[in-house]
């Protein structure tokens, strides 16, 4: 299967929406608010209510505009379930060999979680090129800059946790390629208008990066 390219989405927006707690009936409205603000990557963590229904709903309505998939993917079986509903993005908090191999076999974009240099290089050796640095707020941009200095040039670091309107520039200056954003964008119970305002503010901050 031909692998999906994330780069065409990152050329428009390097922001990845993490919609933990999203309900299927909320997916169309919140998806419209976020994609309407210019975001092009969305993930629904699998510890959300009925996540596969939400992913399928988002894919059907916005699959031609955005890279949509799942977060907190912990098993190869769940990788297949994401693919079965049309998802093309697999994000995990850790680097699991079975998950990475399953995603690659299906041609999906894989972003496993790493924290140390050892974990980053191990993931890279598996063929991973998008490294989700998690939790980023516990180490900060300085740590990422040091990590980037020893990683291969084509290894792209994507911080998740602690990225906000106020911190995104510092993470960018550290060499980050894209940014995973969760509670700064969406929390269960938020209205579509609230999410739209946050999505627009974060998109503006990202657009100002040099």
Residues with catalytic function:
43, 132
CB 132 within 8 A of CB 121: no
Provide the token pair at 156.
Answer: 């792209």
CA nearest neighbour of 180 among 26, 5, 19, 57? 19
Tokens 């699991």 belong to which residue?
A: 96
Give me 51's structure tokens: 């996540």
Max Cα-Cα span within the chain? 44
171 in helix, strand or coil? Answer: helix
Give the per-residue SS3 of 76-127: HHHHHHHHHCCCCEEECCCCCHHHHHHHHHCCCEEECEECCHHHHHHHHHCC
CA 34, chain centre distance (Å) = 13
- Vertex 156 angle, CA 153 and 161, to 5°: 145
Q: How far apart are the first and last CA of the chain?
A: 36
């Amino acid at each position: 299967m031909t692998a999906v390219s994330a780069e065409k989405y990152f050329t428009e927006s390097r922001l990845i929406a993490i919609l933990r707690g999203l309900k299927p009936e909320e997916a169309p409205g919140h998806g419209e608010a976020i994609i309407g603000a210019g975001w092009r990557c969305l993930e629904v963590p699998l510890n959300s209510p009925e996540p596969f229904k939400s992913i399928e709903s988002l894919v059907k309505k916005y699959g031609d505009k955005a890279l949509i998939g799942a977060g907190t993917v912990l098993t190869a079986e769940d990788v297949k379930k994401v693919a079965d509903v049309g998802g093309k993005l697999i994000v995990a908090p850790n680097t699991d060999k079975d998950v990475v191999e399953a995603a690659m076999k299906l041609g999906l974009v894989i972003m496993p979680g790493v924290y140390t240099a050892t974990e980053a290089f191990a993931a890279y050796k598996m063929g991973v090129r998008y490294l989700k640095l998690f939790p980023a707020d516990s180490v900060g941009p300085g740590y990422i800059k040091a990590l980037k200095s020893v990683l291969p040039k084509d290894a792209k670091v994507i911080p998740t946790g602690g990225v906000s309107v106020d911190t995104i520039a510092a993470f960018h200056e550290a060499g980050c390629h894209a940014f995973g954003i969760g509670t700064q964008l969406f929390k269960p119970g938020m209205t579509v208008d609230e999410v739209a305002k946050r999505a627009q503010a974060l998109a503006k901050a990202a657009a100002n990066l040099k």
